[in-house]
Structure 1
């Protein structure tokens, strides 16, 4: 349980840092690329054994980590596009609602428990995500031509969580969690660096020390959010559907509270209802263990 709590705190800190990006005019793309570099280095430092590239490349999870790295940075860019075209609420709902994908995967593939209390808790969690993410009383509005972007965010985020569970269960040894995480971030960094090089060739890249500092500040909690999540998935007394439900809803809850305390964000009635439902859903899902 301690790993799940640490993952929630690390992920919530990421949202706080992203909030600071807009306040201090940080170039998100530059910061996110630096973040992936720092996150990868963090995993390498945390790995107790000497790293042999030829040995790592032969691991069963290596190509999966490569694919996940590409998906990581792709989903991030899709989230940015979704925010621009549909609004932050739509991006937040698409990201967090994706918990349905690994939950269904866990139940169908790993035959995880589906007690009535747990099912009710998961359903309430989905409502909580929707209501807590609302920024206007009217709710969410998505135009037909822009529907593809939140849909891709939903699918991509779900694939990431589902893949983490799959590789953690079948391929990643206990001691390999740091280097597995480092590899994911490393491949994401490679894609990001290629993007920056392309922008530099075009003449549209302006590097700033502010963006480097922001990326470093984001990289460490980003690494630990994945590291602790993988460790939480290894906890024998808690199945993945429980972990993903509590993790996603608690992150939304903690980041919302942080927004109120740190940034004086104002909540509408739907948000408060969502917060109450989030607490209820966490209790129900945790109680069903």
Structure 2
């Protein structure tokens, strides 16, 4: 369980760092760029990817799609945390698991059992209640709802694409992960270079330092999550449940206690339903179809 706890800590720390980015006026795109440089370097050191095994037959369209999506969604993640807080953003990110579940049914013809259906039915009102705001908040934060929606959709699509990579058995998954990080770094670098040339941003050491720390914790989340699955290979649903529930609970506590994020009673009801949805979906994985 130590790996699960470490993965949860790393995941929530990434959200906290993005939250603090607003306070210290960090350039998120610069931090995200260095984040991927740090992640691909650590990926190379820890996983020893078989780079020479890459060829024209590799799933390059998926790699490229992920390379564009990852930094883009990272920016929406930062904007969502900045405008709506850690609690709601973490829930949007965790409930994005509904998208690969629906993709499994509609695209890959996977059968659904009653527990998974219940989890989905609980999950959608959970999303609605979590992001429900008072009328005065709606006036002050008009348009901000787009950020968690993009986080929800983006992370869901990214999950589907990574699952497609996992099905490609010719290359080790870690090699594909390294390739995606490399391409994501290049895409982010192009964006930063364009912004510097056009005078929209300036390279600052604080952004690079923040990006390095962000990359370490971002990679730590992936590393410990994979180690948890390896250590508990016979109980993958345990890892799945503990990770998602843990991030929602810890993220909510930090958001409410440390950053004084204000939630209504309906928002709290949404959090409870979100936890219930994850539990039902996890239980559904243990049911023999």
- Shorter-chain TM-score tier: 0.7 to 0.9
CA distance in 1, matches of 2:145, 2:279: 33
CA distance in 2, matches of 1:236, 1:127: 32
Report the counterpart of residue 271 of structure 2 in structure 1. Answer: 275
Alignment of 1:1-289 (within 5 A): 7-48=7-48, 51-52=50-51, 54-58=52-56, 60-78=58-76, 88=84, 92=89, 95=93, 98-112=96-110, 114-134=112-132, 136-138=133-135, 154-171=152-169, 176-227=172-223, 238=236, 243=240, 250-288=246-284, 289=286
CA distance in 2, matches of 1:256, 1:61: 37
What displacement does 1:63 show? 4.4
TM-score of the pair, normalised by structure 1: 0.76
Mapped contact 2:77–2:151 kept (Cα < 8 A) = yes
What displacement does 1:280 show? 2.5
What displacement does 1:144 show? 11
Q: Check 1:44–1:172 CA distance in 2 against 1; reply closer, same or farther (3 A cut).
A: farther
Moved more, 116-125 or 144-153: 144-153
Mapped contact 1:46–1:178 kept (Cα < 8 A) = no
What displacement does 1:42 show? 1.2
Q: Check 1:228–1:127 CA distance in 2 against 1; reply closer, same or farther (3 A cut).
A: farther
Structure 2: gaps spanning 5 or more residues: none
CA distance in 2, matches of 1:262, 1:81: 19
CA distance in 1, matches of 2:103, 2:70: 19
TM-score of the pair, normalised by structure 2: 0.76
Q: Check 1:250–1:104 CA distance in 2 against 1; reply closer, same or farther (3 A cut).
A: farther
Q: Check 1:141–1:133 CA distance in 2 against 1; reply closer, same or farther (3 A cut).
A: same
What displacement does 1:284 show? 2.6
Structure 1: gaps spanning 5 or more residues: none
CA distance in 1, matches of 2:154, 2:275: 26
Mapped contact 2:100–2:156 kept (Cα < 8 A) = yes
Give the length in aligned residue pairs.
Answer: 280
Q: Check 1:6–1:171 CA distance in 2 against 1; reply closer, same or farther (3 A cut).
A: farther
CA distance in 2, matches of 1:10, 1:116: 33
Q: Deviations over 1:187-218 (max 9, x none)?
A: 11101111111122223332222111111111
Q: Check 1:102–1:271 CA distance in 2 against 1; reply closer, same or farther (3 A cut).
A: same
CA distance in 2, matches of 1:83, 1:185: 23
Q: Check 1:123–1:194 CA distance in 2 against 1; reply closer, same or farther (3 A cut).
A: same
What displacement does 1:139 show? 9.7
Mapped contact 2:196–2:203 kept (Cα < 8 A) = no
